[in-house]
Amino acid sequence: MAKKRGSLRFVAAVTAALLAVSAEAAAKKQPAKTVKRAAPTIQAPQALPSGGAYKLVAKVPGGVSCDPYVGAISADADSGRVLFTDRADKKGYPASVTKLMTILLVVEDIEAGKYSYTDRAPASQRAISQQPSSVGIKLGQTMTIGDLCKSIMVKSANDAAVVLAEYAGLHGAGAVSPKPDAKPGQSGEYEAFIARMNARAKELGMANTVYTSANGLPPEKDKRGKALRDFDSSTANDLLKLAHEIIKHPKILEWTSLAKTTVTDGSGNPLELYNHNNFLAGTKDTPKIAGCDGLKTGYTDAAGSSIVLTAKRKGRRVIVVVLSSAGRKLRDDNAGRLINDALGAVSDW
């Protein structure tokens, strides 16, 4: 009887061992479970410079600049995932950031074979009447399309933006026909280009953007001081959509990455241009962001300071937009924090 009980215990032990080995083998055959990591988030400023409120700090009547900004957003450029958003659908004035749409349309024209970078575009009365920044082109003088593109992306030249817009209005997609004996800028080409800017914005889903100029300057006024048009207006979210399209064009990034460059001006002389984007390596001011290669800054008294910033590090690109901040330092402080946080977030994926 004792021998029988011992045999049963032995059989039970062997069976348990075999079951354990079988379970272990089965477990090894199962595919490893994928652990989904939560999407990184970037926190909004805990202590705003204004003491916790988004305060209007306009330098002129009708201005929209705020402390710390009207709106801001950051995103992973590859996936489109938004990493940070704060009042990103609030409207502000983009100022010279407007030139990103101008350059996009010009480059799309050239890529479509409408004209070339070596073509020369003439300056009209409208062009030479623009406020600085400028390349100082004079009435009737010409510059190459390539040099004009560099001029608006590096120096943010307002006269160059108008020259490009008028040339594209005559020779680009949906070009108007020049009127007989018309001087540059007198055939409705500029207005046609502005219409194209708004049509392209609509195609990109920029539902809260309206363009009224090619350079982002405040509206011109009549003799009685009445504005002849509205301000260009947009949101941080819309400008992010534009930036996603801009970075598809290496030629634009080639220009926006330049801390300085030289072009040939309308008189045939070399003209040095310096970038206003302080995050680029080679610029005079701090801070610098490793891998930063664009995109565009903007400032007017009414608009405040804006920036569309992008950087690529370890193969991952991010985009940051800060719209209508009360000052350049405040803008750059927030943009710098956001882009460093964004680069850190995507590097953890």
Q: What is the pLDDT of residues 89-120, one digit of tens each?
A: 999 999 999 999 999 999 999 999 999 999 99
Q: What is the mean pLDDT of residues 196-207?
A: 98
If DSSP codes are grouped into helix, strand and coil, which group holds residue 296?
strand
Q: Does the pLDDT of residue 122 top 80, yes or no?
A: yes
The single-letter code of the amino acid at 18 is L
pLDDT of 182: 81
Domains and CATH numbers, the chain: 55-214+228-347 (3.40.710.10)
Mean pLDDT of 184-202: 94
Q: Which amino acid is it at 255? A: W
Region of poorest pLDDT, from 6-20, 96-110, 133-147, 193-207: 6-20
Provide mean pLDDT across the span 244-252. Answer: 98
Instruction: Output the six-digit token pair for 41.
Output: 């988030």
Q: How far is CA 177 from CA 155, 171, 182, 279, in A?
A: 31, 9, 10, 42
Which residues make Cβ contacts (< 8 Å) with residue 19, sequence separation at least 6? Answer: none
Section 27-48 average pLDDT: 42
Most confident of 48-52, 115-119, 226-230: 115-119
Does residue 347 register a pLDDT over 50? yes
Residue 58 has a pLDDT of 81
Helix runs in 112-229, H state only: 125-128, 145-150, 158-171, 189-203
Q: What is the pLDDT of residue 76?
A: 96
pLDDT value of position 35: 35
Q: Check pLDDT > 70 for residue 172.
A: yes
How much is the average pLDDT of 283-294? 83
What is the three-class DSSP state of 53? coil
pLDDT tier at 49 (50, 70, 90 boundaries)? very low
Q: Which of 86-90, 160-164, 226-230 has the lowest mean pLDDT?
A: 226-230
For residue 44, what pLDDT band results from cuts at 50, 70 and 90? Answer: very low
pLDDT at 59 over 60: yes
pLDDT given for residue 54 in this prediction: 79
- Measured CA to CA in angstroms, residue 7 lies from 15, 225, 285 at distances of 12, 109, 87
In the three-class reduction of DSSP (H, G, I as helix; E, B as strand; rest coil), residue 15 is classed as helix
pTM: 0.84
Q: How sure is the predictor about 241, in pLDDT bands with cuts at 50, 70 and 90?
A: very high
Residue 20 has pLDDT above 80, yes or no: no
What is the structure's pLDDT at 177?
86
The pLDDT, as a whole number, for residue 47 is 36
pLDDT greater than 90 at residue 46: no
Listed residue (247, 165, 249, 237) closest to 205, CA to CA: 237
According to the model, what pLDDT value does residue 23 have?
46
CA atoms within 13 A on the CB side of 217: 23
High-pLDDT (> 90) share of the chain, %? 71
Please determine, for residue 27, whether its predicted confidence score (pLDDT) is greater than 70: no
The answer to whether residues 232 and 93 touch, using CB atoms and an 8 Å cutoff, is yes
With beta carbons less than 8 A apart as the criterion, state whether 65 and 59 touch.
yes
How much is the pLDDT for 338?
A: 96
**Average pLDDT along the chain:** 87
Confidence grade of residue 284 (pLDDT, cut at 50, 70, 90): confident
State the pLDDT at residue 286. 64
